[in-house]
Structure formats: structure tokens, C-alpha cells
């Protein structure tokens, strides 16, 4: 059971480059989420998706784009990376239902130079 | 104002002791509450859900006080392996909402 995976696990890029972080889950969960985690801020929601082709903004969406053409994939794109987007990015997924657990992927550590 | 607030610690506690954390949430519409555990440089993992009536899972007890809008976690007979960051979570519920995390409380269990 592969669960939820993220790629790449580590990425170094330069300011202004486009970067796409991949997230894939094998559970057919309806909901998927992207968070970023920074010292002093904790985990913050970037975007989420309730189903294929349905996405919505979270707390910190600026500078990011998402898509969800298939239930199992939820890529996050930084269209023009900035140093402030240096962070650890976690993808998560869950079934329908407010008490359902969110399962997190292992994270992608992104450094923007 | 941050919606979920926690004391960041660190809490340095001797092995075998009992330790308690609280967190407060500001959104009165919050419906679902959780404690997550995060080990250094790893992903958060669900420790336990928090129910209005309180709930227990082995050495861990979670309580919810809706009137005062706080959530607590009690760890009894602490183990070295309990050293981690504990994240308090509140969400309005409704299914698709992302989780609102506190910044976490860092716990260090000392031998």
C-alpha cells in the first residue's frame, strides 16, 4: 500500500524558475491538500481540492497554482519561484467526513536561491 | 490573531512523568479537533481525535472545552519515544476544509 507520495523529496531552484511539486495518493481519497511549513508559522494551507477539477484557495495561495485532473494526483506549481517560497511542502489527503483523518505525504524540501 | 494557539515550549520532562498541553482556538465555528504528532523533519501524523466527551487512548487523554474554546492533551507515564512536537488542530468541519494548525508544542522526555 503506497499511500501518499511526494516528489521530488528535495529540490533546489533559482528565483524566477517554475517548479512543480507532485503529490500522488493510492487510496482514492476525495480530498487533497497542500500545506507549507515554516519556522515561526507552523503549517499553513495553500490550496485544497474536494474532487477532481474542484480546487479552492487556502490561507496562503499567492504565487501557487494547482490542478486536479485525476483524483489521485494533485500537483502544486510555483509559477515564478521566490526566496520566500523556500519551505517544506506537505501534501495530504482524506476521505469525505469532517472527522476523517488527513494523511500526510513525506514532504518536499524546497530551497529557492 | 492566529486561530489556534499553543505554548511552543520546549517542555523538558523526566521519563515517567505526566505532562499536559493546552491549546486555544478562536473560531467558535470549529467543529472538529485533533492532536497530531510530528517528529523532527517528518510529516505530521494523527495522534488522536478530540471529542466533546473527552477520549483516551492508552497513555493519552484528550479533552475539549467548547465554552472556553480550548483543547488539552495529557500524556501519562511519558516515554523517551514521546519526544516530538505536538500539533493542535481545529477545523470548521464540512469535509473539504483544510486543517488549522497551532505552531506546535515541543516535548522533550529526558532519561
CA distance A49 to B14: 43
pLDDT at B95: 54
Cell representation of residue B83: 519526544
For B89, phi then psi, to 5°, come to -135, 135
pLDDT for residue B94: 55
Would you call B102 an interface residue with chain A, using a CB distance cutoff of 8 Å?
Answer: yes
Which residues does B91 contact at the CB level (< 8 Å), separation at least 6? A98, B30, B31, B32, B33, B34, B97, B98, B99, B100
Pick the residue of A9, A33, A42 with the most B CBs within 10 A to test the interface with B by mutation.
A42
Confidence of residue A25 (pLDDT cuts 50, 70, 90): very high
Most confident by average pLDDT, A45-54, A83-92, B98-107: A83-92
pLDDT of B1 strictly over 70: no
Mean pLDDT highest for which of A22-26, A37-41, A57-61, B26-30?
A22-26
d(CA B87, CA A7): 25
Average pLDDT, stretch A19-48?
A: 93
Cell numbers linked to A21: 511539486
Among the partner-chain residues A56, A100, A107, the one whose CB lies closest to the CB of B43 is A107
**How many C-beta atoms lie closer than 10 Å to residue A30's C-beta?**
19
Take residue B107 and report the three cell numbers written for it. Answer: 516535548
Q: What is the pLDDT of residues B37-81, one digit of tens each?
A: 999 989 999 999 998 888 999 999 999 999 999 999 999 999 999
B96–A48 C-beta distance less than 8 A? yes
Task: State whether B95 and A50 contact (CB < 8 Å).
Answer: yes
Amino acid at each position: 500500500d503506497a499511500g501518499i507520495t511526494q516528489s521530488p523529496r528535495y529540490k533546489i531552484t533559482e528565483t524566477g524558475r517554475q517548479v512543480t511539486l507532485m503529490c500522488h495518493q493510492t487510496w482514492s481519497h476525495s480530498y487533497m491538500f497542500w500545506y507549507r511549513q515554516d519556522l515561526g508559522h507552523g503549517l499553513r494551507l495553500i490550496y485544497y481540492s474536494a474532487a477532481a477539477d474542484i480546487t479552492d484557495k487556502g490561507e496562503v495561495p499567492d504565487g501557487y497554482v494547482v490542478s486536479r485532473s485525476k483524483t489521485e494526483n494533485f500537483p502544486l506549481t510555483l509559477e515564478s519561484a521566490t526566496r520566500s517560497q523556500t519551505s517544506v511542502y506537505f501534501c495530504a489527503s482524506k476521505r469525505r467526513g469532517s472527522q476523517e483523518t488527513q494523511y500526510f505525504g513525506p514532504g518536499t524540501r524546497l530551497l529557492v536561491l | 490573531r492566529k486561530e489556534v494557539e499553543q505554548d511552543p515550549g520546549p517542555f523538558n520532562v523526566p521519563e515517567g512523568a505526566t505532562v499536559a498541553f493546552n491549546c486555544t482556538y478562536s473560531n467558535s465555528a470549529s467543529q472538529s479537533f485533533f492532536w497530531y504528532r510530528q517528529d523532527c523533519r517528518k510529516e505530521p501524523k494523527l495522534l488522536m481525535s478530540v471529542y466533546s466527551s473527552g477520549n483516551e487512548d492508552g497513555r493519552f487523554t484528550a479533552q475539549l472545552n467548547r465554552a472556553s474554546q480550548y483543547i488539552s492533551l495529557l500524556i501519562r507515564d511519558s516515554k523517551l519515544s514521546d519526544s516530538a512536537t505536538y500539533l493542535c488542530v481545529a477545523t470548521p468541519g464540512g469535509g473539504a476544509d483544510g486543517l488549522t494548525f497551532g505552531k506546535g508544542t515541543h516535548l522533550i522526555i529526558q532519561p
